[in-house]
């Protein structure tokens, strides 16, 4: 049964591709037309992650790369090429999409919604009636910040934190409508925030928390340029020292940032390699005949204060969780307000129910802990030790390798 994969050069897609190559002799990669050479990027990933030379040497034979445009009808292919592609497939994995939390809705709909629509057209056109595996996100649960999100839920009653969540929700609606129209089964996989302990590398895709680190760092630099330092009073001033205010340098020159969050909040972070393994195993189960939806999430959430500590050690900032937005934000806080999709999750206390996954897969569905050290390894440049919190001794981490 021949399989096709969209998003094969992405953060999750590369791990899915590794798993699919373990169960299929060949894979068709539906690559984005006009992007860098997909085969080269895939090969470099396997080289950097220590795959055997014999496996890498076989990639040109085992991978068929088809340049497509998910935003266009027939994926941008001619009618004949589209039909030939559809007729040759037994399974379609749709993993491609934009995870830009700051993107506007029209842009994200073009990629995430229309892209899904056109993949569904491909699945409907093939005479083999290929199986459909659609990668969504657990965050279609929207802006409900408390309680439990269940796998069978799909509504917009609570709204969404950002346009990305809405676009993925709308894409799932298309999958349900397609399944009803054609009487075909579909598998919907909803991962949480995917992370890795693989150190950053310019030839590897970044994971979401690395994007957040970049936004914080850029915002701090921009605020410093926009707000020149005020002259300080002479040291002889008799006034007692005042604590640092928002945006002012605190201990060690770290500006204070107030952001809405909950001290008992929690985020679900899952190792990307484990997510790919679970997804491929779920795809091997007998379908119900309709849309089978699974939360691919960690069985233990990460406390929000741990995430805050991580960000403080990545970027020289002090982050203060507050219940409401400051009435008089500093220049840095005002800049960060342009990225609401980034900070909204610090107020979340909900959990994602994954009873169905644990029932189907048993104890093997459980994940290894995601610790502060693990997260640091996947965000800091290779060899950079975990920065200590102010007033504490530095933590020593084992050296990280790509192999």
**Quick check: 75 and 30 in contact, CB under 8 A?**
yes
Question: Could you please report the per-residue DSSP string of 283-332?
Answer: HTSPP-SSEEEEEE--SSPEEHHHHHHHHHHHTT-EEEEESS--SS--HH
For the chain, what is the domain count? 1
| Residue 42 pLDDT greater than 70, yes or no | yes
Question: Residue 22 is part of a domain; what is its CATH number?
Answer: 3.40.50.720
State how beta strands 27-32 and 63-68 pair. parallel
Kindly state whether residue 104 falls inside one of the protein's structural domains.
yes
Residue 382 counted as domain residue: no
Which range (64-73, 228-237, 346-355) has the least confidence? 228-237
Low-confidence winner among 49-58, 64-73, 379-388 (lowest mean pLDDT): 379-388
Residue 385 scores a pLDDT above 70: no
- In angstroms, the CA 249 to CA 256 distance is 7
Confidence (pLDDT) at 380: 82
* Interval 80-112: pLDDT, tens: 999 999 999 999 999 999 988 888 999 999 999
Average pLDDT over residues 143-157: 95
Does a structural domain hold residue 77?
Answer: yes
249 within domain boundaries = no
pLDDT band at 274 (very low <50, low <70, confident <90, very high): very high
Number of Cβ within a 10 Å radius of residue 221: 12
Kindly state whether residue 93 falls inside one of the protein's structural domains.
Answer: yes
Would you say residue 251 has pLDDT above 80?
A: no
Task: Answer whether residue 279 is part of any domain.
Answer: yes
Per-residue model confidence (pLDDT) at position 242: 40
β-strand pairing of 63-68 with 3-6:
unpaired
DSSP classification of residue 243: P
Sign for the CA dihedral angle at 123, 140, 8, 285 comes to: negative
- Where is pLDDT greater, at 337 or 326? 326
> 192 Cβ partners below 8 Å, 6+ apart?
137, 138, 139, 267, 268, 269, 270, 295, 296, 297, 298, 352
As a whole number, the mean pLDDT across the chain is 87
Structure tokens at 92: 């379609």
307 falls within a domain: no
Confidence of residue 243 (pLDDT cuts 50, 70, 90): very low
Euclidean distance between CA atoms 287 and 170, whole angstroms: 23
- pTM greater than 0.75 (yes/no): yes
* pLDDT tens-digit map of 211-221: 777 777 777 78
In this predicted structure, the answer to whether residue 370 has a pLDDT above a threshold of 60 is yes
pLDDT above 70: residue 236: no
Query: Is 189 within a domain?
Result: yes
So what's the pLDDT on residue 248?
53
| pLDDT score of 354 | 96
**What is the structure's pLDDT at 240?**
37
Contact 67, 31 (CB under 8 A): yes
Model pLDDT for residues 175-203, shown as the tens digit of each residue: 999 999 999 999 999 999 999 999 989 99
pLDDT in tens, 219-233: 778 767 665 544 444
252 against 316, higher pLDDT: 316
Cα 270 from Cα 373, distance rounded (Å): 14
Residue 392 has pLDDT above 70, yes or no: no
The whole domain housing 150 covers 3-195+268-296
When mean pLDDT is compared across 17-21, 207-211, 229-233, 319-323, the lowest value belongs to 229-233
The predicted structure's pLDDT at residue 333: 84
Give pLDDT, residue 393.
44
Mean pLDDT of 372-397: 65
What DSSP assignment string belongs to 198-237? Answer: SPP-TTSPPPHHHHHHHHHHHHHHHHHHHSPPPPPPPTT-
Percent of the chain with pLDDT over 90: 67
**In this predicted structure, what is the pLDDT of residue 332?**
84
């Amino acid at each position: 049964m021949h399989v096709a994969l969209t998003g094969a050069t992405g953060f999750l897609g590369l791990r899915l591709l590794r798993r699919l190559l373990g169960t299929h002799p060949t894979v068709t990669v539906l690559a984005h037309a006009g992007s860098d050479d997909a085969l080269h990027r895939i090969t470099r990933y396997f080289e950097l992650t220590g795959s055997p030379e014999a496996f890498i040497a076989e990639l040109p034979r085992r991978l068929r790369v088809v340049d497509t445009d998910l935003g266009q009808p027939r994926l941008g292919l001619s009618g004949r090429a589209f039909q030939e592609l559809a007729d040759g497939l037994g399974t379609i994995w749709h993993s491609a999409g934009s995870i830009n939390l700051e993107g506007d809705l029209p842009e994200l709909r073009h990629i995430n919604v229309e892209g899904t629509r056109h993949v569904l057209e491909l699945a409907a056109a093939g005479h083999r009636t290929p199986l459909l595996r659609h990668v969504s996100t657990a965050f279609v649960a929207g802006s409900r910040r408390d309680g439990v999100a269940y796998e069978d839920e799909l509504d917009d009653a609570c709204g969404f934190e950002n346009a990305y969540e809405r676009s993925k929700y709308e894409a799932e609606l298309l999958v349900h409508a397609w399944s009803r129209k054609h009487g075909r089964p579909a598998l919907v996989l909803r991962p949480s925030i995917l992370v890795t302990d693989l150190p950053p590398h310019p030839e590897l895709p970044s994971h979401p928390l690395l994007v957040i680190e970049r936004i914080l760092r850029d915002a701090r630099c921009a605020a410093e340029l926009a707000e020149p330092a005020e002259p300080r009073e002479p040291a002889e001033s008799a006034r007692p020292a005042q604590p640092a205010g928002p945006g002012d340098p605190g201990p060690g020159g770290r500006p204070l940032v107030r952001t809405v969050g909950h001290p008992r909040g929690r985020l679900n972070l899952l190792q990307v390699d484990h997510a790919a393994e679970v997804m491929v195993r779920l795809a091997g189960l007998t379908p119900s005949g309709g849309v089978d939806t699974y939360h691919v999430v960690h069985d233990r959430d990460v406390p929000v204060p741990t995430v805050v500590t991580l960000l403080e050690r990545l970027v020289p900032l002090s982050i203060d969780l507050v219940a409401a937005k400051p009435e008089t934000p500093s220049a840095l806080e005002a800049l960060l307000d342009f990225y609401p999709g980034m900070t909204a999750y610090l107020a979340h206390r909900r959990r994602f129910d994954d009873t169905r996954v644990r029932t189907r897969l048993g104890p093997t569905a459980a994940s290894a802990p995601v610790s502060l050290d693990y997260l640091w390894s996947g965000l800091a440049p290779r060899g950079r030790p975990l920065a200590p919190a102010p007033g504490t001794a530095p933590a020593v981490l084992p050296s990280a390798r790509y192999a």
